[in-house]
A = this chain, B = another copy of it.
Amino acid sequence: MKYRIGILDDHPVVVKGLQDVLLKHGHQVVWTSNSVTDAMAKSAIQVDIIFSDIQLPDGDGIHYCKEILSVNKHVKVIGFSSFSDGSFIRNMIRNGAVGYLLKESDESLVLESIEKVMAGEQVIDPKIKEVFLETQLGIKKNDVSLTRRESEILKLIADGLSTKEIADRLFLSIKTVEAHRSNLMLKMDAKNMAHLIAVAFDRGLI
């Protein structure tokens, strides 16, 4: 199937390259644009898919995504950027994008993604999946080593249990639990319990 496609990117080279790939395979590139304002002005033009960069001169693809979907809720927006930054991708998806590809993707991935997206599937670049998986697995950096008791208590803290509740659960004195909490904060260089949990998540300890 051949589709009507719009491209929003402020890098002429990227626009040209993507356009060539799409045209070569019979798709119609009905508009290209280098700014959010301009792209919104073209929102009346019917398209099936929009490829949108994240960083644009007058805004970002994330807000554009939300806006264009409020005008035309049937269009499939695919984030198209060189950033594999998680927060960009998350926000793009949250704002309604159905896919996110990296600019270094090869032709076949772009073409496959068009088919998948039009079939109602969500598409995330496999490279991003790998990065996400590694983050989840905490392969990054894991210098602090916690004792068995410490990680046990850490998990209970993350579950929202107070010192007293943890003490009751583990049949320990409140003072003992307090000692472990202090050690956790010391080891992980945390200022308080909220910070401790944030650090623990960052280091993949939870």
Interchain nearest-CB distance for A2 vs B (Å): 30
Most central of A136, A190, A193, A195 by chain B CB within 10 Å: A136
Interface residues on A, range: 35 or more
Within 8 A of B (CB), among A121-154: 124, 129, 132-133, 135-139, 142
Cα A161 to Cα B192 in complex, Å, equals 8
Q: Is the CB of B159 within 8 A of A195?
A: yes
Chain B residue nearest to A148 in the complex (CB): B63
Residue contacts A-B, CB under 8 angstroms, 23 given: A86-B136, A89-B137, A90-B137, A93-B138, A124-B133, A132-B133, A132-B137, A133-B133, A158-B194, A158-B198, A159-B195, A160-B190, A160-B192, A160-B195, A160-B198, A161-B191, A162-B192, A194-B194, A195-B197, A197-B197, A197-B201, A198-B206, A201-B206
Footprint of B on A, CB under 8 Å?
Answer: 86-87, 89-90, 93-94, 124, 129, 132-133, 135-139, 142, 155, 157-162, 190-198, 201, 204, 206
